Structure formats: C-alpha cells, structure tokens
A and B are shown apart, each in its own frame.
Chain A
C-alpha cells in the first residue's frame, strides 16, 4: 500500500525560529515522486517542490530546504528563520508509477501540517 504520513498535525513557532515539517512515505515502487504543497489561509494549493526517487540530493531554495532520505523513507521540509507569511497548511504527497488498484499516477496526500508563525 502507498501512504504518506505527516505526524505533526499542528506546529506553532515564533517568527525567526527554524521549523521542520516531517513527512514519511510508504511505497513498494522503486520509482516515485515526492511533492510538497503549501495551502495558505486564502485556500489555494501552491506547488513548492518535486523530488524524484533516484535523486537524493537535498535542495535549498532561499529559506526553504528539503531533506530526502530513502533509507528512512522520509522527505522533511525545513523553513529557516520563519516568517508570519509562512503560516499555512503544508502537504506532502507521493506519486508512484505502480499499477495499484487503478491509482497509478495519482497523488497520495498526507493529512497536512498546520504551521502557525507568530510575530
């Protein structure tokens, strides 16, 4: 079965703190893609990053960084020096190429982590 677990339901930090959002996934496929999306209070879903299973290099984009570790099936997201505008729900998602009950190619989302950054 394919599954994405975001164990942290809600996180609250004070501005300028670093925060890490955890994501653990399960899949039998050897080729898959991992994603992070941001959903700010306005409600839209904004794509942040895609990672392929064969590329374990960590990635940094400004204050955002992602740590992909196949050994622990994790794809964690760190925000450095958080800001109030980072307040949102963050979703981790998995897409595999397995034919699995018709779900091939679909995104499987975690439940999301609500991040609140207080001034």
Chain B
C-alpha cells in the first residue's frame, strides 16, 4: 500500500508569493495532520482533520496559513503571502480512527519549503 504522499518535496519561493502544499493520506484513514518542523521549535502540530472536518487549528501560526480537506483523499496547506520565517519542513500524517490497533500516525516524506 502507498504511504502518505506529499508534493512537492522541495519548494523554493520568494517572499510574498503564495505557496500550496499537498497531501494524500493513506486510503481509509480518517485523520489527517499537518506539522511543521524547524530547528528552533521542533515538530509543531498546525492543524488536524477528522473525516475532512478541521478539528483543531490552534497551531496555525497566523491568518496567512490556511488548510483545506475537500475530500478524504486530498488536503492542502496554503501560505499566502509567504515569509522567510515560514521556511521549514512541512509534514503531513494520517491515521485511522480511534482504536487499539489504529492509533499510529504515519508520516509523509515532508515538503522542504524555503522562502527567500
């Protein structure tokens, strides 16, 4: 089975540009998570969805960040306008619904974003 798929793997953009990161979760997983990883702050949860509905977006840094999940197999994280401090690796993860055997989050390969 395919794991979590993210695109692009690398993105270099200039300050002020819009950036869209994409994620395809593992088929059948009900939960989808977006994380950001930086040297300074480590792994931070930005937002997560359950059955395509955003449940907790308290980790989203500011209004420049938005995330959508139009269907069970696709999610986007958008930054508009981007700033150099947004440079980080962005991970998408998914897991199946609550249950003893279904509580593992599987991560995608990440998108390394560089904002110049």
Contact = CB atoms under 8 A, between A and B. Distances in A.
Q: Do A and B bind each other?
A: yes
Contacts of B42: 109, 111-112
Interface stretch (B11-19, B65-73, B79-87, B105-113): B105-113
Interface of A: 33, 35, 37, 43-47, 50, 52, 91, 95, 97, 102-103, 105-107, 109, 111-112
Contacts, number: 45
B45 A106 contact: yes
Question: Chain B at the A interface: mostly helix, strand, loop or mixed?
Answer: strand
Interface residues on B, range: 20 to 34
A68 B98 CA distance: 22
Contact of B43 (A33, A52, A109): A109
Interface of B: 31, 33, 42-43, 45, 48, 55-56, 58, 89, 91, 93, 98, 100, 103-110, 112
A44 B110 contact: yes
27 contacts: A35-B104, A43-B109, A43-B112, A44-B107, A44-B109, A45-B91, A45-B93, A45-B107, A45-B110, A47-B104, A47-B106, A47-B107, A50-B103, A91-B43, A95-B103, A97-B98, A102-B55, A102-B56, A103-B56, A105-B31, A105-B98, A106-B48, A106-B56, A107-B45, A109-B42, A111-B42, A112-B42
